[in-house]
Structure 1
Amino acid sequence: MNDLVEGHKAHLHHNIAANSSSDEESVGRQIELEAGNSIKYRTCSWQKTAALLFSEYICLAIMSFPWSYSVLGLVPGLILTVFIAATVLYTSLVIWKFCLRHPEIRDVCDIGQALFWDSKIVWYLTAIMFLLNNTFIQGLHCLVGAEYLNTMTNHSTCTIAFSAITAIIAFVFSLPRTFSALARLATFSALFTFISVLLATIFSAIEEHPAGYTPELGEPDFRAFPVKGTTFVNGLSAFLNISYTFIGQITLPSFIAEMKEPRDFWKSVTVVTIAEVIVFSLVGAIIYVYSGNQYITSPAFGSLGNEVYKKVSFSFMIPTLIFLGTLYASVSARFIFFRIFEGTRHKGNHTLVGWATWVAILAVLWILAFIIAEVIPFFSDLESIMSSLFDSFFGFIFWGVAYMRMRRADYGPNFYKVRGIRGWIGFLVNLGLILMGLFLIGPGTYASVDSVVLSYRDGSFGKPFTCANNGL
């Protein structure tokens, strides 16, 4: 029996080595095929990919962490931050390994089809969720762009106009057709975002009182654990806000597909995850402590009582307000563009038809984003809706299934038995990921939608397509 198991393992190791060689050859062939094109896609180093990831994760959503901690309490909030970061790093490495086995994969839709019985129906359903997720994120940045312009100008014009201006500027920055061309902008965006949240954190600590302070409400009050009366809807919304900021695996297959050496991707994602945990935890905890449950807002720039502090720190967020929406628009446009022009000269060369189609796709995406921003005009609820609807699949379910499929291919249908304790642990962990995703689809979506209903009912926010001031 032992000889049989050892022979099976040796056979697997041979297959894995053979697959490794085959994967390298496949990537090499793809690069060779692009050699004659004027637009080359497999050009990203791991450093450039890390820059893209930094710009995706080190973003405005960090400023929702103080609000999440105010709902959950510091201790549960920090524990959840580390837990979700570890989960996202683990699933990102699963994606990486899956993409190495299938270098022909270009995006998450190809993965969806490969995972679920090579079904074209799954491919189309994944494509719908993929495009909706990305367009919702673009809409979020239209919304926050309007908040910024209203804050800076003291509401000098209609909010709808400010949202449209943001969409137009982001549309222009979306025009480059390769991720390599966007990498320098990504570095610039991540750096300025870091400065923005650092300034906001420092200002919250040094100013005398947060915005809205009154002697009746008292000094900022922070708690280690949730305050009495915290509802299920609020608690789950806070959790979804944290998970939304971390979960960005939907773009990873697209980034890996444009790397010169996909085997280096683990370096990119590991460096970024370590930075995320440090920045998110410190910013969330410090601002929450100095703002307290009474004065915290989402995003937390609104908690700064000094108008100069607020405007200075918020202004450093401008690059990410533009660039992150730009990045997701580029991912969506690339997905559509490649399907239209696969195998034609328009895909890899500067042609009138190719560029006209690229511009038209981006224009449609930004118009849809603008509409979303006007229909759901509030920051934290929009984040929660996106997290429950899309992160359930792209943050958890897909990658639990991907692990199962890879282990089944390596060790057979009883992989959890063949591998001993490692097999059982891997099986249970990834089953847990799938169940967590299913939980987000059900109770998570309910909580998000209920929060929107309550917000409209209470009159906490303006109506859709309103000129009302949404400045901080």
Structure 2
Amino acid sequence: MSVLPGSPAIEPPTGQVDELVADPEDIDKMIQDDKHTGVRQRLWGFQARLDPSVTLEEYMHWADVEREMEEEEFRHYKGIDTVGGGLVASLKNFFGRERSNDTQTIYGNAPTVPHSEKRLPLEKDTNSSDIESPVRPAAPSASHEFDAEWRTAVRALRTASWGGVFYLITTDILGWSQTPYVLANTGYGLGVGMFVLMGLAAAASGWMIWKTFLALDSSRFPVLSFGDPFFRLFGPRARHAINFAQGLQMFLSVCVLQLGQTNVVAQLGESANLCFIVCGIIALVVGMASGYLRSLKHLSWLSNAAVWLNVATFIIVCVAAAKYGPDPVPQVNGGILPKSWAKNPAPVKTFIGVPPARYQPTDTDLFAAEFNGINSIVYAYSGAVLFIAFMAEMRHPMDFWKAVFCAQFFICVVYSFFGAFAYTYYGQYSYSLVNQVVQPLGLQIAGNVLTLITGWLAIFLYFNVGLKMVYLEIGQELLHLPPITTTKGKYIWWIIGPIYWILAFVVAMSVPQFNAFTNFVGGLFSLNFTYSFAGMMFTALKVQQYGKLPGEGFDPATGVTTRHDGGPKRWMRGFMKGWKFTVPALIYTCAGLAASGMGTWAAILALQAAFGPGGSVVTSWTCTNPFYTG
């Protein structure tokens, strides 16, 4: 049976419609006659994401409705948009749509329908098999005209195409530039092998996140952040934990990018021996200026431009590497290679297996060095933390799989080739930001300028999404601040934005080693958001789906969710019945957690070496420019 609006499955009964417009005297009479169903106007939109009276079955029911409606709309859209004009016109229309779909404000507030917070009296008795709820929901009207108006307003915020999302996923300042550094830690064999393996795993994560989103998201109850699926599958505590972790990851990612931009500015000011703290302030001011933009509108075409800027940088690095070799100063001063190699560099050496301790850039413990390299690989695939935010902006989220698989294939092939090529000529001098070891100076400056541009775009993306999460999940939800879209919200955003940036600047300048810092963030956060958490949510979804018994589910006519049991018995039944999905997903989750633990341990060892007694790495709170050799 179709679940599209208009079918009997979602038409509210006359009694409930009468009750919605009844006055208090009529309600009292219904109670006396045992005709009162205990309904209230359901809250929709942004606030409905956190409504504790909504059951998982209700979320999934309206998600099914949403997917079928989207499919019908998309077929209609394509039919109108490509009719006539032959093949050339069809292709022109197709690519024109891809370019015209701008990504709107992530986490923007969806419109909310008028509603009453007055809760009506409950029924005296409820069926013991029903899920306990303070009230029973009902559809807002007898017709779907109200639904259509609501959904039109909500869908107006969803305009991104899968092509635009592809560019967003592949826009990553840290991913491509670290690939030669990965091989400097691991050698050709392990490095390229792990890059391919983790690329396949990242594609699997994207698929699991995509399937979970499709099963839970609707215009009535939108999924907007990584914490929303955990709220619906595990409860509010899980959501708070995920939101805290994601907010902290976004903040530390801004710190990593801030430190990287500071290093680039410092190298550009090398000839003038520009003070390193001044370089950090320059990077801070430019980044802070972007904080006054609250919207990600038009970010799709900016990300498109960033991809091509990255391609230009690829070419510069490859040509310079093959013809001129490395500048050893950045890696020597930023790692643990012998300091004498800055002025009298040892010959470049490459290794098929793991390089020996003398040629390791970050840690002499070879096991830890391998995981430092793996942590860096994660950065190339770390866009999963934003996947839900991207899907929440898509006109047709069922196309998201195209963006994920195209992006991961692009990253895996291009990055692996680039990493192996650059490592061949740079060897142990391969730095985290590889364009900083480029020679001669002219090509190095060109690469650094392009890196600054794409780096600030990445900073804007992480800052914007990260601060919006803090504002919405803490500011609006807990502190009751006004929405960002209001005038008061805009002023508050402008006040807390600089505070956020200054804190990021302080943290970034307090870290003595860029390589170890990026590896720590990758191991503790990126690994889990890319792999472990995706497996968790997918496992929980399948357990819930396969744990369903005959006669259970959500009835849109009455607003009642029926379950015949719950707890461990239900979870075990769902896990065993869906073993083809749940067992691989659970193994996948455990593998991600194990990799995160070992990767974080390796990064902490590297940080200890940098901070510890006798450490020769130049700290960031200094005026000494680490690139100055005069």
TM over 0.5: yes
The alignment status of 1:327 with 2:444, answered yes or no, reads no
Residues 217-237 of structure 1 show CA distances to partners (whole Å, capped at 9, x for unaligned) of 664221111134562221111
Q: State whether residues 143 and 373 of structure 1, in contact with CA within 8 Å, keep that contact through their aligned partners in structure 2.
A: yes
Which whole-Å CA distance do the structure 2 matches of 1:359 and 1:41 have between them?
Answer: 23
Matched AA of 2:370 = G
Which whole-Å CA distance do the structure 1 matches of 2:321 and 2:343 have between them?
Answer: 18
Q: State whether residues 476 and 482 of structure 2, in contact with CA within 8 Å, keep that contact through their aligned partners in structure 1.
A: yes
Matched AA of 1:264 = D
Within the candidate set 425, 429, 437, 1:303 is matched to: 437
Residues 311-359 of structure 1 show CA distances to partners (whole Å, capped at 9, x for unaligned) of 22222112211010110111112223334458x996474x421211222
Within the candidate set 246, 253, 266, 1:137 is matched to: 253
Q: State whether residues 403 and 430 of structure 1, in contact with CA within 8 Å, keep that contact through their aligned partners in structure 2.
A: yes
Corresponding residue for 1:21? 65
Corresponding residue for 1:110? 228
Which whole-Å CA distance do the structure 1 matches of 2:156 and 2:469 have between them?
Answer: 16
Q: State whether residues 64 and 380 of structure 1, in contact with CA within 8 Å, keep that contact through their aligned partners in structure 2.
A: no
Give the secondary-structure state (helix, strand or coil) at the position aligned to 1:225. Answer: coil
Which whole-Å CA distance do the structure 1 matches of 2:455 and 2:184 have between them?
Answer: 25
Give the secondary-structure state (helix, strand or coil) at the position aligned to 2:158. Answer: coil
Within the candidate set 577, 590, 597, 1:435 is matched to: 590
* Number of aligned residues: 446
Corresponding residue for 1:125? 241
Q: State whether residues 170 and 323 of structure 1, in contact with CA within 8 Å, keep that contact through their aligned partners in structure 2.
A: no
Corresponding residue for 1:8? none
Matched AA of 2:609 = L
- Structure 1 residues 469 and 177, CA gap change in structure 2 (3 angstroms): same
Which whole-Å CA distance do the structure 1 matches of 2:195 and 2:481 have between them?
Answer: 46
- Structure 1 residues 42 and 333, CA gap change in structure 2 (3 angstroms): farther
TM-score (norm 1): 0.85
Within the candidate set 158, 166, 171, 1:42 is matched to: 158
Q: State whether residues 174 and 327 of structure 1, in contact with CA within 8 Å, keep that contact through their aligned partners in structure 2.
A: no
Corresponding residue for 2:525? 390
The alignment status of 1:371 with 2:506, answered yes or no, reads yes
Q: State whether residues 196 and 315 of structure 1, in contact with CA within 8 Å, keep that contact through their aligned partners in structure 2.
A: no
Which whole-Å CA distance do the structure 1 matches of 2:151 and 2:507 have between them?
Answer: 37
Note the C-alpha offset of 1:360.
Answer: 2.4
The alignment status of 1:51 with 2:156, answered yes or no, reads no
Matched AA of 1:89 = A
Corresponding residue for 2:287? 170
Which whole-Å CA distance do the structure 1 matches of 2:225 and 2:324 have between them?
Answer: 46
The alignment status of 1:94 with 2:232, answered yes or no, reads no
Q: State whether residues 204 and 210 of structure 1, in contact with CA within 8 Å, keep that contact through their aligned partners in structure 2.
A: no
List aligned pairs for 1:141-152, cutoff 5 A: 141-152=257-268
Which whole-Å CA distance do the structure 1 matches of 2:531 and 2:481 have between them?
Answer: 37
Corresponding residue for 2:89? none
Note the C-alpha offset of 1:164.
Answer: 2.2
Which whole-Å CA distance do the structure 2 matches of 1:441 and 1:373 have between them?
Answer: 22
Which whole-Å CA distance do the structure 1 matches of 2:230 and 2:576 have between them?
Answer: 26
- Structure 1 residues 377 and 181, CA gap change in structure 2 (3 angstroms): farther
Give the secondary-structure state (helix, strand or coil) at the position aligned to 2:624. Answer: coil
Which whole-Å CA distance do the structure 2 matches of 1:317 and 1:82 have between them?
Answer: 25
Which whole-Å CA distance do the structure 2 matches of 1:353 and 1:215 have between them?
Answer: 56
Residues 241-297 of structure 1 show CA distances to partners (whole Å, capped at 9, x for unaligned) of 11133122111111111222222211222221111012211111011011123x333
- Structure 1 residues 471 and 188, CA gap change in structure 2 (3 angstroms): farther
Which whole-Å CA distance do the structure 2 matches of 1:189 and 1:399 have between them?
Answer: 27
Corresponding residue for 1:452? 607
Corresponding residue for 1:81? 195
Which whole-Å CA distance do the structure 2 matches of 1:436 and 1:156 have between them?
Answer: 46
Give me the identity figure in percent: 19
Corresponding residue for 1:232? 367
Corresponding residue for 1:220? 348
Which whole-Å CA distance do the structure 2 matches of 1:345 and 1:298 have between them?
Answer: 40
Higher fraction of helix: 1
Q: State whether residues 188 and 319 of structure 1, in contact with CA within 8 Å, keep that contact through their aligned partners in structure 2.
A: no
Corresponding residue for 2:403? 268
Which whole-Å CA distance do the structure 2 matches of 1:186 and 1:198 have between them?
Answer: 19
Give the secondary-structure state (helix, strand or coil) at the position aligned to 1:468. Answer: coil
Note the C-alpha offset of 1:24.
Answer: 5.4
How large is the RMSD of aligned CA atoms in angstroms? 3.1
Note the C-alpha offset of 1:106.
Answer: 1.0
Within the candidate set 447, 453, 456, 1:313 is matched to: 447
Within the candidate set 452, 472, 495, 1:360 is matched to: 495
Residues 91-119 of structure 1 show CA distances to partners (whole Å, capped at 9, x for unaligned) of 1111111111222211112233234x21x
Give the secondary-structure state (helix, strand or coil) at the position aligned to 1:202. Answer: helix
Q: State whether residues 65 and 284 of structure 1, in contact with CA within 8 Å, keep that contact through their aligned partners in structure 2.
A: yes
> Quick check: which has more Rg, 1 or 2?
2
Which whole-Å CA distance do the structure 1 matches of 2:237 and 2:626 have between them?
Answer: 41
Which whole-Å CA distance do the structure 2 matches of 1:369 and 1:272 have between them?
Answer: 29
Q: State whether residues 512 and 610 of structure 2, in contact with CA within 8 Å, keep that contact through their aligned partners in structure 1.
A: no
Matched AA of 1:177 = R
Q: State whether residues 396 and 434 of structure 1, in contact with CA within 8 Å, keep that contact through their aligned partners in structure 2.
A: yes
- Structure 1 residues 266 and 163, CA gap change in structure 2 (3 angstroms): same
Point out where structure 2 has 5 or more consecutive residues left out of the alignment.
Answer: 1-58, 74-108, 112-148, 330-340, 358-364, 548-571
Which whole-Å CA distance do the structure 2 matches of 1:71 and 1:287 have between them?
Answer: 14
Matched AA of 1:449 = I
Which whole-Å CA distance do the structure 2 matches of 1:338 and 1:234 have between them?
Answer: 39
Query: Which range is displaced more, 330-339 or 257-266?
Result: 330-339
The alignment status of 1:199 with 2:316, answered yes or no, reads yes
TM-score (norm 2): 0.65
Which whole-Å CA distance do the structure 2 matches of 1:130 and 1:362 have between them?
Answer: 18
List aligned pairs for 1:277-292, cutoff 5 A: 277-292=412-427
Matched AA of 2:227 = C
Note the C-alpha offset of 1:166.
Answer: 1.4
Q: State whether residues 291 and 498 of structure 2, in contact with CA within 8 Å, keep that contact through their aligned partners in structure 1.
A: no
Corresponding residue for 1:5? none
Residues 398-436 of structure 1 show CA distances to partners (whole Å, capped at 9, x for unaligned) of 1111221222233234456546xxx44x44432232222
Which whole-Å CA distance do the structure 2 matches of 1:44 and 1:216 have between them?
Answer: 52
Corresponding residue for 1:189? 306
Which whole-Å CA distance do the structure 2 matches of 1:242 and 1:409 have between them?
Answer: 33
Point out where structure 1 has 5 or more consecutive residues left out of the alignment.
Answer: 1-14
Matched AA of 1:298 = S
- Structure 1 residues 414 and 205, CA gap change in structure 2 (3 angstroms): farther
Which whole-Å CA distance do the structure 2 matches of 1:303 and 1:318 have between them?
Answer: 15
Which whole-Å CA distance do the structure 2 matches of 1:416 and 1:462 have between them?
Answer: 52
Which whole-Å CA distance do the structure 2 matches of 1:248 and 1:128 have between them?
Answer: 18
Matched AA of 1:199 = I
Which whole-Å CA distance do the structure 2 matches of 1:240 and 1:123 have between them?
Answer: 25
Q: State whether residues 325 and 426 of structure 2, in contact with CA within 8 Å, keep that contact through their aligned partners in structure 1.
A: no
Matched AA of 1:291 = Y
- Structure 1 residues 323 and 34, CA gap change in structure 2 (3 angstroms): farther
Query: Which range is displaced more, 99-108 or 165-174?
Result: 165-174
Q: Which has the higher contact order (CA 8 A, sep 6+)?
A: 1
The alignment status of 1:463 with 2:630, answered yes or no, reads no
Which whole-Å CA distance do the structure 2 matches of 1:22 and 1:417 have between them?
Answer: 29
Q: State whether residues 193 and 319 of structure 1, in contact with CA within 8 Å, keep that contact through their aligned partners in structure 2.
A: no
- Structure 1 residues 111 and 461, CA gap change in structure 2 (3 angstroms): farther
Note the C-alpha offset of 1:468.
Answer: 2.2
Give the secondary-structure state (helix, strand or coil) at the position aligned to 1:179. Answer: coil
- Structure 1 residues 334 and 312, CA gap change in structure 2 (3 angstroms): same
